[in-house]
């Protein structure tokens, strides 16, 4: 036997035991897998009913909770929630006063700074007053001149009254002379007829009577002229007094302008948006600064037109300020605008032209703010708010309106049938 054959036999003997061992391993692995599958199957068969019951219980509980939540929300909304109208289109507002000069001139002094609290009547800006003071003094001088002229004319009237008295006395004397001359002429007429006096003497007496009568007329005219002179002088007095009155009015206007050189705060508040500087030339009506009355702030809330049906003046309001998280302020409805915001815009909509797209309109509602001084120190106009109006005291308002309108319609129809 060759060496190769012996080697092959030995290899065959060596391989046989190994094949048996591998077969045993594979069989053992299969048995283990079968055992594990049997265990998992039994476990699934045991756990499935419990899981199903738990799942059913969970679903039932969740369904009940959801149903109760929906029912609770519906009940809350119908009994409570729908009467609370909310909007976040609301802002703090204040009627700021614009400070503008009434007169023109150079700014001499600025007495306040930005964001300073001021009181009503406190000086803010002073304009150079020299020109207006000179005008006031000029008008005062005109008043003094007019009064002096009036006094001079009154003195002339006093003198003229003496002239009138003198003319009146001269008229009385002329009348006496005329009466005497006329008497002498009458007395000489019979004497001349009987020849006791010549005609020449009678003619002289009659001439004297005529001259005396003309003298009376002259004195009467002089008296009238003197009296008319007094009337003329009195008119001059009135003219001087009128000139004094005109100058007095101009003086008052000049004093008003002089006082207007100092600009004061008309309300108590806080200075803001100041643009005035010392040495600046300002014209009448130029905006210099604003004074914001923080103590009279209010809320401007813009509600949808579908929200104002139950809204009435005096209803309580709850206010949330974005600048003060967690704080709720209170107020009440002060007034409702007589029109939507679009009606008072610069260019109101013209819905009768072109295509129409319906847009929900908003109605401005003014809310009075009932806040204390501590809260007002933080609040400034322009802050964003959330506003809730409690309309429960008017929850039947829409029904009442509807019923009244139905009654009016029925009465109208009854009247038409009759």
Count CB-CB contacts under 10 A for residue 204.
14
- pLDDT of 81 reads 66
Kindly tell me the burial class for residue 284, based on how many C-beta atoms sit within 10 Å of its own C-beta (0-12, 13-18, 19 or more). exposed
Task: For residue range 52-64, list pLDDT tens digits in order.
Answer: 777 888 888 888 8
Q: Name 154's Cβ contacts closer than 8 Å, sequence gap at least 6.
A: 233, 237
For the segment 154-167, what is each residue's pLDDT rounded down to a tens digit?
A: 898 888 888 888 88
Average pLDDT, the chain: 83
Give residue 202's pLDDT: 67
pLDDT at 287 over 60: yes
Q: Which residue has the higher pLDDT, 27 or 223?
A: 223
Confidence of residue 196 (pLDDT cuts 50, 70, 90): low
Q: Record the tokens describing residue 161, joined without a space.
A: 């009254």
Highest mean pLDDT among 191-200, 337-346, 381-390: 381-390
Q: What is the pLDDT of residue 47?
A: 53
Contacts of 286 (CB under 8 A, 6+ apart): 100, 101
> Tokens 């799942």 sit at which residue?
55
Q: How confident is the model at residue 2, as a pLDDT?
A: 41
Residue 27 has pLDDT above 60, yes or no: no
Q: Which of 365, 368, 363 has its CA nearest to residue 297?
A: 368
CA-CA-CA-CA torsion sign (20, 21, 25, 26): negative
CB 161 within 8 A of CB 230: yes
Tens digits of per-residue pLDDT, 201-254? 767 777 877 787 888 888 888 888 888 888 888 899 999 999 999 999 999 999
Q: Which residue has the tokens 């969970």?
A: 58
Residues 352-381, mean pLDDT to the nearest whole number:
87
pLDDT over threshold 70, residue 11: no
Report pLDDT digits (tens) over 306-357: 999 889 999 999 999 998 888 899 999 999 999 998 888 888 877 777 777 8
End-to-end CA distance of the chain: give it in Å, rounded. Answer: 146
pLDDT value at position 97? 94
**pLDDT score at 184:** 74
The DSSP string of 160-194 is: HHHHHHHHHHHHHHHHHHHHHHHHHHHHHHHHHHH
- Tens of pLDDT along 71-122? 887 776 676 668 899 999 999 999 999 999 999 999 999 999 999 999 999 9
pTM reported for the whole predicted model: 0.63
- pLDDT attached to residue 99: 95
Contact residues for 390 (Cβ-Cβ < 8 A; gap 6+): 83, 84, 315, 316, 317, 318
Rounded distance, CA 336 to CA 283, Å? 38
pLDDT score of 9: 44
Report the b/e string of 368-403 with b at 16+ CB within 10 A: bbebeeeeeeebbbebebbbbbbbeeeeeeeeeeee
More confident residue, 365 or 166: 365
pLDDT for 316: 94
Sequence-distant (6+) residues with CB within 8 A of 244 are 142, 143, 146, 147, 150
Interval 266-282 mean pLDDT: 93
**Which of 4-18, 117-131, 150-164, 172-186 has the lowest average pLDDT?**
4-18
> What does the pLDDT look like over 225-235, one tens digit per residue?
888 888 888 89
Residue 8 clears pLDDT 50, i.e. is over it: no
Residue 262 has pLDDT above 70, yes or no: yes
For the cut 60, the answer to whether the pLDDT of residue 142 exceeds it is yes
């Amino acid at each position: 036997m060759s060496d190769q054959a012996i080697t092959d036999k030995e290899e065959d003997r060596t391989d046989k035991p190994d094949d048996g061992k591998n077969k045993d391993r594979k069989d053992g692995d299969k048995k283990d897998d079968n055992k594990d599958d049997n265990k998992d199957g039994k476990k699934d068969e045991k756990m499935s009913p419990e899981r199903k019951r738990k799942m059913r219980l969970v679903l039932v509980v969740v369904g009940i909770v959801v149903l109760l939540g929906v029912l609770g929300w519906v009940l809350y909304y119908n009994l409570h929630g729908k009467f609370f109208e909310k909007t976040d289109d609301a802002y703090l507002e204040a009627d700021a006063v614009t400070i503008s000069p009434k007169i023109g001139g150079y700014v001499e002094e600025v007495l306040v700074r930005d964001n300073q609290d001021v009181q009503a009547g406190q000086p803010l800006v002073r304009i150079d007053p020299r020109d207006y003071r000179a005008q006031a003094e000029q008008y005062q001088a005109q008043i003094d001149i007019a009064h002096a002229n009036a006094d001079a004319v009154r003195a002339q009237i006093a003198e003229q009254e003496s002239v009138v008295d003198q003319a009146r006395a001269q008229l009385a004397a002329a009348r006496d002379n005329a009466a005497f001359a006329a008497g002498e002429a009458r007395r000489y007429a019979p004497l001349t007829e009987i020849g006791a006096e010549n005609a020449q003497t009678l003619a002289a007496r009659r001439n004297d009577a005529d001259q005396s009568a003309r003298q009376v007329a002259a004195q009467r005219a002089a008296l009238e002229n003197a009296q008319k002179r007094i009337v003329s002088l009195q008119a001059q007095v009135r003219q001087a007094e009128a000139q004094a009155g005109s100058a007095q009015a101009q003086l008052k206007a000049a004093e008003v302008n002089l006082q207007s050189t100092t600009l004061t705060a008309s309300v108590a508040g806080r200075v803001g948006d100041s643009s005035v500087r010392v040495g600046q030339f300002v014209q009448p009506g130029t905006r210099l600064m604003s004074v914001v009355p923080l103590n009279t702030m209010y809320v401007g809330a813009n509600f949808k037109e579908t929200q104002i049906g139950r809204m009435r003046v005096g209803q309580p309001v709850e206010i949330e300020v974005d600048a003060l998280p967690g704080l709720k302020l209170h107020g009440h409805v002060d007034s409702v605008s007589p029109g939507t915001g679009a009606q008072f815009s610069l260019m109101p909509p013209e819905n009768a032209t072109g295509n129409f797209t319906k847009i929900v309109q908003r109605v401005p509602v003014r809310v009075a703010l009932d806040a204390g001084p501590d809260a007002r120190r933080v609040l400034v106009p322009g802050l964003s708010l959330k506003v809730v109006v409690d309309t429960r005291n008017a929850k039947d308002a829409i029904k009442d309106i509807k019923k009244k309108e139905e009654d009016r319609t029925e009465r109208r129809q009854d009247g038409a049938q009759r």
